[in-house]
Amino acid sequence: MTARTIVLTGATDGLGRALAAELAREPGNTLILHGRNRSRLDDLAAELADAPATIRTVRADLADLAQVHRLADDVEGLTDRVSVLVNNAGVGGGEPDGNDRRLSADGYELRFAVNHLAAFALTQRLLPLLDRGAPARIVNVASIGQAPIDFDDPFIEHDYSGMRAYGQSKLAMITTGFALAERLDPQRVTVNSLHPGTYMPTKMVLQSVGHSIDSLETGLHATLRLIDSPDLDGVTGQFFDRTKPARAHADAYDPSIKQRLWDLSTELTEKPRG
């Protein structure tokens, strides 16, 4: 396989860390690994220091859109092309503090901000690099747990629950992924989303539900397939349950909802001028 530059968010824990370790085994790869905590990023880089791949690290708190835009600037400073973008970082339904409604630095509901808006903004900013890296892939690590978006109350100021917020954020990620796939030439850039596994034993899951069902290897295999498999060349605008094609929530296929969510996401993530 030809040398690739892969950007992976949420690389210091759980599925992201497992992906980083596996992708680092491939000679020629350059990995740009994102995390929120500098010391954890340094630990990861040290762990992968002897791997055949080239390792770069970038730090940003995805709950702050200004930092998301700086993250894109940092990636642009490290490479002129991206082969794969894996939007993996996220906040679970039970963290932090379960049903305690919290806001991002920009005043948006936290899970919607981190799980959806940050990924949306980073993807939009990196599209020119992905086009230069064609054929390139965008992989959104979503969930089978999805909840419809109430456009009259997108930040769930009423009847809030952490799991509802989580499900809404993941459906938003999938829906805008479908919308983006329709805008791009699939021979240059594909966009697919997946449910990597049910309750894998990651920190996010254990904090949310307290137990696991699928193994981490299940999620690793499913996500690597979207990153690597030649069977998915040119395949775009799909949702997968682990490795099988699946149907997302019906709202994700509604043209009016896709457009309305795209417009809202664009408005909320626009880079400040000046």
Q: Give the CATH number of the domain where residue 183 resides.
A: 3.40.50.720
Residues 127-134: what's their mean pLDDT?
98
The span from the CA of 152 to the CA of 256, in Å, is: 15
The span from the CA of 265 to the CA of 43, in Å, is: 34
Who wins on pLDDT, 124 or 214? 124
Residue 250 lies in a domain: yes
Residue 31 lies in a domain: yes
Residue 180 lies in a domain: yes
Which residue from 118, 224, 223 is spatially nearest to 172, judged by alpha carbons? 118
pLDDT in tens, 72-83: 999 999 999 999
The span from the CA of 186 to the CA of 116, in Å, is: 22
Domain encompassing residue 22: 5-269
Residues 254-263: what's their mean pLDDT?
98
Among 108-117, 170-179, 190-199, 239-248, the least confident range = 190-199
Residue 100 lies in a domain: yes
Res 274: pLDDT: 45
Helices (H), 37-150: 38-47, 65-78, 110-111, 118-132
Which residue from 114, 100, 110, 94 is spatially nearest to 211, judged by alpha carbons? 94
Residue 82 lies in a domain: yes
Residue 207 lies in a domain: yes
Residue 159 lies in a domain: yes
Provide the mean pLDDT of the chain.
93
Residues 77-96: what's their mean pLDDT?
91
Asked whether residue 205 carries a pLDDT value surpassing 90, the answer given is no
Among 80-94, 194-208, 245-259, the least confident range = 194-208
* Overall number of domains in the chain: 1
The span from the CA of 177 to the CA of 140, in Å, is: 8
Residue 274 lies in a domain: no
According to DSSP, residue 111 is labeled H
Res 211: pLDDT: 46
Percent of the chain exceeding pLDDT 70 equals: 91
